[in-house]
Amino acid sequence: MQEPNFLDTESDPRYGPWGQKLYQLTRLFAVTGGLGFVVLVVMSLISIVGRKIAATPVPGDIEVMQMGTAVASAAMLAFCEMERHHLRVDFFTANVSPRLRERLDALSHLLLAIVGVLVAWRTGASALSLKEAGETSMILAWPVWIVVAALVPSFLLLAVAGAYNAISHWQLASSEGEPA
């Protein structure tokens, strides 16, 4: 099966009406994460130039970079899952039947969905704990819990995308005519 075009989910048979909406949402998260990285690069350049020319870097630039990269990179995970571009090893499944391969793919997507839920849950619990403790960043004194809580929607979206792909692969395996 040919991989989907980045802009054309309607012609891809893997995406039904719900999948198209989910795909668009994950793409929105990924674009937002990408824009976040662009902002971080600009901030970093301003800080570097300010440090070299005027000895005045952006205050807390390292803190902002750490927090921003965590949120921006997490925002891209679900889109990678919808595009099915996560790392996988096809070497072991190259000679199995298409039906079994689809079932194994369904299992791997389901496991990713479970991990996404667990990470979202523990990240949410961590955010609540940080809020109760009142922890702030060292230089800017920003509440750390807000940044940690901002990760939760991305991990939940990753879990939903993983579940969607697991169901899609399982249905495809079930529609195959040959036995596993």
Each residue's pLDDT tens digit, 106-156:
999 999 999 999 999 999 999 999 999 999 999 999 999 999 999 999 999
Each residue's pLDDT tens digit, 4-50:
444 455 556 567 888 999 999 999 999 999 999 999 999 999 999 99
Q: Is 126 exposed, middle or buried (0-12, 13-18, 19+ CB in 10 A)?
A: middle
| Residue 133 DSSP one-character state | H
Main-chain dihedrals φ then ψ at residue 60, nearest 5 degrees: 70, 25
pTM: 0.86
Q: Is 43 exposed, middle or buried (0-12, 13-18, 19+ CB in 10 A)?
A: middle
Asked if 102 and 170 count as a contact pair (C-beta separation under 8 A), the reply is yes
Q: Is 102 exposed, middle or buried (0-12, 13-18, 19+ CB in 10 A)?
A: buried
